[in-house]
Structure 1
């Protein structure tokens, strides 16, 4: 499945969350990642994130789709990290 993951974590945990998410998805902007991921790997990511997140302060939002092409992406301004140049 294709996901867009957005998170809002406290200052002390935000770098740890980014490091974790980059193991599973492509970082496209501050606190925003996207990519193809299996349901099992997504559950694994969430279990690991819940290990250090404070659920009363932090949040994760996941948009799921069947394929990347179900979404149209428009970038205005500087693109943080290009992912379309992979072979």
Structure 2
């Protein structure tokens, strides 16, 4: 298990990045945003690249709102509409 610091908290990364990785380039990021992210990375003891990669990994691991909605719409909640609406 790998441990990374994101923000002020410790995040446990269950799997190392063993598969081939790909570069991602983000253009037109405002300078003040980059400055803030660099400061946060430094405060966490991480390079900006590592800090951003950790955040992207965590973001990808969490389902989006659309994915959560899709899951919940397929789930049998045991209650039908007429019971709720009355």
TM-score by structure 2 length? 0.28
Q: Which has the larger radius of gyration?
A: 2
Q: Which has the higher strand share?
A: 1
**Which is bigger in relative contact order (C-alpha 8 A, separation at least 6)?**
1
Q: Which has the higher helix share?
A: 2
